[in-house]
Structure 1
């Protein structure tokens, strides 16, 4: 029963953020002093007022119209959920929380992400969101991957299709046994 409740709470929170794009409804799914940390960029907020300001001005409503989350895996514990997903969008709006100060490039982005979410009772306490920022920057044309051990959309595509090649960044050093 607890597993279904956490999943329902998390999915309701995500609907408020990404479907209805309702700041008040999103905040209502959270404890009085929640926090969100997008780890690669350290964006989000701590406490009701700061997080509400962040949601109003830098997150909810600012994501591109084609913003889509593709579920990959979910682990549910007694008081937390770990969600792995692929995020797809075209960079047609300023996305302060992911690429602060970068104007829209019009380029597509596909990125593997992980959200670690903790609950108290029937409210969300915090979200820690992780992704590979180098992969985002490569896809936006802001980082030249030549000679660097980074990829672009290939990393997310590999999450969705395990049959795609592994070890390409190793070049000639990769040898099958």
Structure 2
């Protein structure tokens, strides 16, 4: 289906809609289509339509963050986004951070910052985070550190899982703009 055939969401029909421009990003096997819909009209404008290839991907590695503990990259950079693998509270030297959930969360954020810097991006360009906790009882303490790093409030999910790699209590992954 073509981007231009998408209808404008009805929630943008209200009086506050004049300040909004909604951007749709649709991925379709090998194609990326970015459209903007002006809430005052039913017209859409296609800004980008491209064919993605493996050559468009760059593996990101920095010595300023821990090496992957498995068969994956610290991040993958594409022309439109940087996909950061989950970071655990492990220092670049390979030492596990002990102590509070706050200390562990801070290390995860420092690792993400290093990976993003290597990719040419930064924490303020993060648009989505996924946080994994060993126990939701850690949520408030994790959140107090998280909000210091991500004051721009990117989209986020936070879930408790049974076990994380190396039996850590917190892991954070992110998607950022280049």
TM-score bin (small chain): under 0.3
Q: What TM-score comes out, normalization by structure 2 length?
A: 0.26
Q: What TM-score comes out, normalization by structure 1 length?
A: 0.26
> Which of the two has higher C-alpha Rg?
2
